[in-house]
Amino acid sequence: MGKLHDLHAAGQSVWLDFIRRDILESGELGVMVADGIRGLTSNPAIFKNAIASSNAYDGAIASSVSNDPDASALDVFEHLAVSDIQDAADALRSVYDSSNGGDGYVSLEVSPHLAHDTEGTIDEAHRLWGRVGRPNLMIKVPATTEGIPAIEELIAAGINVNATLMFSLQDYEEVAQAYVRGIRRAADPSHIASVASFFVSRVDTSTDAALEKDGSEAALAQRGKAAVANAKLAYARYREIFEGEAFADQVERGARAQRVLWASTGTKNPAYSDVLYVEPLIGPNTVNTMPPATIEAYADHGDVKNAALTKDVDVAREDIAVLSQFGIDFDEITRELKVAGVKAFADSFDDLLATVNEKISRL
């Protein structure tokens, strides 16, 4: 996977959007780190699939219940997740150390059921931060109305945050400003890192459906453009906030910019390139968290020369603006995506606990 090192040379870190106990125990993650993986993200759906699709967790589940017969499915899951996150963080510690805290992070999400509970999110984040006990942990917090003040408070407290479920430029603006406020309040910002997870492929899925409903030749010609255009505009705003004078005083204090992280980068439409959400989004000081299939696709036939993140920003702006000509309210699409995303994560969390509970009963 030499191409992953090429991406890093171009300024982009590749994080693995996947976790499963066997890649930790076998040393496979360590091999991937050597090949250029510089971080890892998890979510309830990933953990659910990992636990349901293998017997890698059966022994640990049986042991947990044997040690504590009254343990709930949530207790058992958290024990499993914390152990996996600790092992992944240890496997990535060399990246964290060699980059002076710039990379090497592993993300763990607060319960999605806390998405609209500011204080609950803050308390849960502190608890998980203490339980995992690794400096290269990032706590995932959704960019809901209630999540924004939680992000500020956690950054101010020195806890690394992966702000997630962002679909719109408004989402990005609110998260970035919360980070800036938190950094200004932090006693020592030099040890704090954060990413703003901006979701990509789902934007095309919803926008394409609206364009196909119109059905005109002009509308159909716009399919597959909105997601990358939206991401380019978010990155342009990132540069304005973090690369200008406004943040310079915090850089002098040792603060890092909050990097934009491209999430949901697996191509969902088989008619599109399987690296559609990689090549156009390569740019300085960014992260792309990719599922294994996308990493394999890029390693096979991706080309860093196709990097276009800072190019044609005016065209990107036009690609979003033209949607209104087809009666498409792009702001409404992104609002609906966030609402649906919060619900999907909560549903995945419930499915995860049901899977753990089923294994507890069977084992």
* Contacts for 241 with CB less than 8 Å, ≥ 6 apart: 176, 177, 180, 247
The DSSP 8-state label assigned to residue 363 in this structure reads -
Query: Which residues are CB-neighbours of 215 under 8 A, at least 6 positions away?
Result: none
Q: Cα(first)–Cα(last) distance of the chain, in Å?
A: 39
DSSP code per residue over 1-30: -HHHHHHHHTTEEEEEE---HHHHHSSHHH
Place of tokens 């040379």: 9
Q: Say which of 3, 48, 140, 338 is annotated catalytic.
A: 140
Helix (H, G, I), strand (E, B) or coil at 229: helix
Active site residue 140: yes
What separation in angstroms does the CA of 54 have from each of 48, 59, 357? 10, 11, 15
214 within 8 A of 326, measured Cβ to Cβ: yes
Helices (H), 133-168: 147-156
What letter represents residue 236's amino acid? Answer: A
| Paired residues of 289 in beta bridges | 15
- The first and second tokens of residue 334, run together, are 């992104």
φ, ψ of residue 8 to 5 degrees: the values are -65, -40
Q: Mind telling me the catalytic residues? A: 140
